[in-house]
Structure 1
Amino acid sequence: MSKWIQLAILAALIVILPFFFPSGYYYRIGALVFVNGIAVLGLVILIGFAGQISLGHAGFAGIGAYACALAPEQFGLHPAFALLLGAALSAGIAALIGRPILRLKGYYLAVATLGFGILVAMTIQNERALTGGPDGMAVEELGLRDLLRDLGWRVSGGEFWYGVCGIALLIGAWIALNLRDSPTGRAMRALHGSEIASRTLGIDVARQKLVAFVISAVFASVSGSLLALQNRYITPDVAGFMHSIELVTMAVLGGAGSVMGGIFGAAILTLLPQVLTVLADYEQVVLGAIMVTVMIFMPQGLLPSIARRLRRTRK
């Protein structure tokens, strides 16, 4: 399926779904799906394209989130510029730590990235005077909704952030799909198959790994910034270990090698807990059972497996 068809389907879903929302609450859930989807797209590039694992990517989401909280307060920056600052800061840190970390492989790499995520979360929690510590801190309003109101377009907060995050997800998907088909993306996918073969073909393996790591860090940072701006309050949980695990699980569940699969996984894992709340104490058990079942019978992820079976049925 071409990238334009995939983007058209994604755009159509974003536009059509609100017609089926029974209340404004679902706009907030939809926006959360889009925010998670953006972070997962970064992991699709890192894990699915380049074949590198990261268990600390929530650290970059925390950097983006707290950039939107601190930059307006400390430097008087507009929150939109704070988002860009957080993305640039995350890219710089990823480039700095990525070169030594990405020399590692397998579980050594996983532990190293996990250590980075824990370090960011601990810094946020311990710097109480600056970040508010475990209690978190308020985030300045973006202000664009007031501008839309002045122009005569009245939207609720949920509708506004649904639209903003939906557009951001579309842009992120477009970037990821373009990267996949570019020479850089093909080089990343080649080293995913075999680093030795890639070196033989003249691919700079270290550089491609670093590029994938930096791009994925920017995606995670933007995701964290949008979450902070949407909620107008942020806590260290955004950079926590469990958030990193959730993001990796979303990517693997939907299909880490597929851009649309990653988004699908983010949607499933964001929506399932909302649906399973009726099970009360058994919610986590059922959620875990569903994930284990999918990984056993659909190891390539939900969307790629479903697409492959549909193709077989047509034949």
Structure 2
Amino acid sequence: MRIYSRITGTGSHLPAKIMTNADLEKIVDTDDQWIQDRTGIKQRHVAVEGETTSTLGLEAAKKALKVAGITADDIDLLIVGTTTPDLIFPSTACLIQKGLGCSGITAMDVNAACSGSIYALGVADKFIQSGQHKRALVIGAETLTRMVDWTDRTTCVLFGDGASAIVLEASEEPGILSTHLHADGMNDHLLNATVGVSTGLKNEPNGGLKIRMKGSEVFKTAVMTLGRIVKETLKANDMKKTDIDWLIPHQANLRIITATAKKLSMSMDQVIVTVDKHGNTSAASVGLALDEAIKSGKVARGDVLLLEAFGGGFTWGSALIKY
């Protein structure tokens, strides 16, 4: 008998502070129309003093646990997808574990940039399928605005902060049908951060940490790669494009989302879009979109969902789910 990982609860948390495109016009050479035309973004949430990746993730986790009708004592696995951890160590997962008060369980971070939540789902799913764990809390959380260069109009307009959480439970009913995870470090120069612990920090504000991106190359690669993983996912499950009820993509850029939907021959009415409100929240974005889709009533039990993401590394992944 196959053991499935079934979603029993979702949650999300966003900082209260909102930065609109009009706000950005005051600090960098840009304008609202330029940003919307190229990205589809209208605003993003920004963490303030006292808010960190772990505090955002903790609040999202509490909401997901409440929806699932369980407590932190009921989970035995906690995985956090993030590329902006509070500290080098302890892991953000350990910090959230402390906040939840569920010591002793497996807790770890996964860094796959914008694909972090898909990677974390894949890892948690395999642990549950193995029988080693019964209930997992999968979190995607980021504070990307802490590493943004606010003088670079090509990148600072893109990113926002937030967190999402998903509760997975072992079940005989179908849930996660398959996950597909990939990476290619050969193109690391197209999207990366400028400094690190081992390579060394700089005597500059924020240690010289910035995001570097060659936008047009990333766009082309993302669209092509996501098209391939859609085909791979459908083939692995002997399904057709028409079998998918909802596409829930990483919220990086509306043009990428639209291009992916076109490859699936899907109407945008079947695509969950939150990038206009949240910007690119990296590992948090797919979970944020999923939580909003469920809470709004768009996604219902029994629907087939295709989650997919592409991020720095490059990394990419998908999860096919019967909700």
TM bucket by the smaller chain? under 0.3
Higher helix share: 1
Higher strand share: 2
Q: TM-score, normalised by structure 1?
A: 0.24
Q: TM-score, normalised by structure 2?
A: 0.23
Higher relative contact order, chain-length normalized (CA < 8 Å, sep 6+):
1
